[in-house]
Amino acid sequence: MGNWKMNKDLSSAVSYVEEFFKLARDTGGKIDIVLFPPFPLIHPVVEAIRGGARWTDLFAVGAQDMHFAEKGAYTGAVSGICIKSVGATHVIIGHSERRTLFGDDNKTVGAKLKSALEMGLVPVLCVGEPLDIRDAGREEEYVIRQLKSAFDKIETRSLRSFTFAYEPIWAIGTGRNATRDEIEPMHNLIRKWASKVGFQGGGDSVRILYGGSVNPDNARELYDIDGVDGFLVGGASLEAYSFAAILDAMIGKE
């Protein structure tokens, strides 16, 4: 999944999709591809994908955030209803940049998650610790707290599947990806937690993406780590060729 963050304009977004279709190999139905453009570019990207005619059912578009309310006096905010109406099927909830730069606390993240699920959007819930917490060896309790509060008001037993993204903050945009020893235990922890709180189908019904400095060179090694079901890619998703190269590395392993 590619999170464009605050990048691109209309023409570069549309030409990206055209270029990506030319470069990307067929995934054989095994890998879902989702792009997360800025809000105003969601609909043009959806249209460009529909016009592309190649495995469009595997190629979806999502929003990088949403407000928890359905509508109302929230100047500048965008509701789940609105993003759905322009063709988004997915939404990132609780990205660390929303948490640290825009004040989304655990309670807000929980309210957004609840709203996304009620609206039939597929949420990608981001969790991950800052460096001082990792250095103090407290990353597991930190992430568990994020998980607990995100699902505080949600009936987990009603969820048939769910997608998490483990994104350690110190690995985002730094060029320093987390290693197997750091990723594997955390993905195991998240899966065990999901199973314990009763997701339908247990821990196997959840997908856990890794995010943080994923690029074409490290993608295959990272995808090889037990419990890594995919990636949430930032910087390396901004160019169609490097996003396609990451996909290539994943197809190579499937």
- Rank residues 81 and 207 by Cβ distance to ligand 13P and give the closer one: 207
Our CA dihedral for 38, 147, 183, 194, rounded to 10 degrees, sits at -110
Interface with ligand 13P by CB under 6 A: which range of 48-56, 112-120, 135-143, 234-242? Answer: 234-242
| Contact pick of 172, 240, 244, 247 for ligand 13P (by CB under 6 A) | 172
Distance in angstroms (rounded) separating the CA atoms of residues 254 and 249: 9
In angstroms, what is the minimal distance from the CB of 213 to ligand 13P? 4
Q: Does residue number 60 form part of the binding site for ligand 13P (CB under 6 A)?
A: no
Positions in 209-228 near ligand 13P (CB under 6 A):
211-214
43 is catalytic: no
Check residue 232 for interaction with ligand 13P (CB under 6 A).
yes
Q: Does the annotation mark 19 as catalytic? A: no
Candidate residues 143, 183, 234, 247; the one interacting with ligand 13P per rule CB under 6 A: 234
Which one, 139 or 167, has the nearer CB to ligand 13P?
167
Q: What is the DSSP annotation of 101-156?
A: HS---HHHHHHHHHHHHHTT-EEEEEE---HHHHHTT-HHHHHHHHHHHHTTTS-G
Residue 6 CB neighbour total at 10 angstroms:
7
Q: How many helices (H) and strands (E) does the chain have?
A: 10, 8
**Which position among 28, 51, 173, 201 is part of the footprint of ligand 13P (CB under 6 A)?**
173
Catalytic residue among 67, 90, 95, 187: 95
The strand pair at 162-166 and 206-210 is best described as parallel
Residue among 35 and 50 whose Cβ is closer to ligand 13P: 35
What residues contact 170, with CB distance under 8 A and at least 6 apart? 130, 131, 134, 176, 212
Q: How many CB atoms lie within 10 A of CB 196?
A: 11
Which residues are identified as catalytic?
Answer: 95, 167
Applying CB under 6 A, the residues found at the interface with ligand 13P are 3, 95, 167, 172-173, 211-214, 232-236
